Each structure stands twice: as structure tokens, then as C-alpha cells.
Structure 1
Amino acid sequence: MPDSVPADLLAAVEHATRRRESARAEQLAAIRAAVEAGLPITHVARAAGMSRENIYRLIRK
């Protein structure tokens, strides 16, 4: 790593990445809960800003 790259900028990138991963896990749990509660896939997909196909893919994992 070049000395010209401030460590605090890299730390900010790492922190944002951890937050994104955490948010993604939270979103997946919410999607699964909504589907298990019987909400229509179309509604869940719309709320998540995803396609129905992506929702089906996520709940199959």
C-alpha cells in the first residue's frame, strides 16, 4: 500500500463494507420472514426493490 493512501480512508471503506454486509443479512432475514408469513412474492419484491426472480433465488438459499 502506498504511503500516500491515508489509513483512515481505508478504515472507512472497511467499515462501510461491514455495514453493507450487515444490512444485507438483515434484509435477507426480513425477506424470508415476509415470505414465511405468507406475503405475496410480488409485494416483497417491490418492497425490497428487487425482481421476483431474485426473491425466489434468495429464499431458496
Structure 2
Amino acid sequence: MKGIAVGIVLAIVGLILWLTTKEVETPVVSLHKAGLVLAIVGGAEALFALLGLGKKANK
């Protein structure tokens, strides 16, 4: 259950960064691209946690 919550929070934070920081320039990494990566990783983590929860229920 914790993995699902963490994944959802990461996805939400990533989407917020991705949608609001198009014009912001930083010297190291683009916040726009970092937000997209966070959203993808968060979604994947939530999905894998949900799949793991489904596998435990089948046993």
C-alpha cells in the first residue's frame, strides 16, 4: 500500500513540475524534463505496487 501512495505522490509532483516549469531554466537540468521523468517513474511505481498487491491476493 505504501508503494502505491509513493508512486501517486511522485506522479502528481512530476505532473505539476512538467506543467508549470516550461520557461524556467536551471544550469544543470531542465525542471520541465525532470517533471516528466518523475511523473513516469511515479506512475510505473504505483502500477508495479498495484500488480504486486494483486499477486499477493491470488496466493
- Structure 2 residue runs of 5 or longer lacking an equivalent are 1-23
Q: 1:17 aligns with which of 16, 21, 38?
A: 38
- Counterpart amino acid of 1:24? E
Aligned mates of 1:14, 1:20 — CA distance in 2: 10
* 1:32 match: 53
Aligned mates of 1:27, 1:33 — CA distance in 2: 10
Aligned mates of 1:10, 1:26 — CA distance in 2: 24
Structure with the greater alpha carbon radius of gyration: 1
Aligned mates of 1:29, 1:35 — CA distance in 2: 10
Normalised to the residue count of structure 2, the TM-score between the two structures is: 0.50
- Displacement of 1:4: 5.6
Q: Share of identical aligned residues, percent?
A: 11
- Structure 1 residue runs of 5 or longer lacking an equivalent are 39-61
Aligned pairs, number: 35
Normalised to the residue count of structure 1, the TM-score between the two structures is: 0.49
